[in-house]
Amino acid sequence: MILPLALVQMTSTTSIEENLTLAEPLIREAAKQGAKLISLPEVSNLVQIKRTESTKEACFQEEDRFLSGCQSLAKELGVWIHIGSCVIKLPDDNRMANRAFMIDDQGEIKATYDKIHMFDVDLEGGESYRESTSFKPGEHAVTVETPWGTIGLTICYDVRFPHLHRSLAHAGAKVILNPAAFTQKTGEAHWHILLAARAIETTCFVAAAAQTGHHDDGRDTYGHSLVIDPWGKMLADAGTTIGIIRVDLDLEDVTKARAMVPSLQNGRDFSLPNN
């Protein structure tokens, strides 16, 4: 089974309408190049570090123009679109959801996933992030059935939590999507090696569409959208430019890798240290 995949790398802004305008030609180009699953980065619809401003701009799911625009594009182009995440207002919480969407080729939402792990950190130079202040953490791991088999959904900071990825592999995933808006500093240090590690230990393809460059809210993101095979080999790296990368994934490679290193089968339960 071959999965014709494209990753979109973009520099989202503080305007939902503008971000749809930025994403649409990239999605169309990916479809023109033969992609049947097109994956977008984290917070594709809205990059806004100021909580008060993001609350003003964000919409409820049924009102989000970026989401509905991607649904229309998926149906028109006959492709599946994975929105790495959208910033979505919640009816029952004053925080928002950082929510991924998998849209089928009829424009229907097949699955959603709310980011579980929140990036709360103080970096050198005064740069600080408190995702848990603005976003309600998700509580459920998610896989989605597609024409190419089971795909696992994660978002950005989730890449640092191996147990989530292994749970997706145990649930049948052969491909794990890890869209991101990684910071420049942490991206330079850890991005490539973390994604490679998740691919190796799950014997899955890992595909990560990323935000890149300087955003109008003041932040800088690392770029380097990546596709990595189950053996840890880098198949594609988008660098730091806006655009797409196109890769055909042979899912038989997952079966071969798992036969050579059956770590998913060999895992055992164990007791924790008594400290």
Catalytic residue numbers read 42, 115, 156
Rounded distance between C-alpha atoms, residue 243 and residue 195, angstroms: 20
Sign, CA torsion 160/207/111/56? positive
Sign, CA torsion 29/42/167/261? positive
Q: Where are the alpha helices (DSSP H) in the chain?
A: 16-32, 51-57, 65-77, 131-134, 162-170, 184-202, 252-260, 263-266
Q: Is 115 helix (H, G, I), strand (E, B) or coil?
A: coil
Give the Å distances, CA to CA, from 246 to 66, 211, 272.
Answer: 23, 17, 43
Tokens of 4: 């014709």
Rounded distance between C-alpha atoms, residue 84 and residue 181, angstroms: 10
Q: Residue 184 class from Cβ within 10 Å (0-12 exposed, 13-18 middle, 19+ buried)?
A: middle
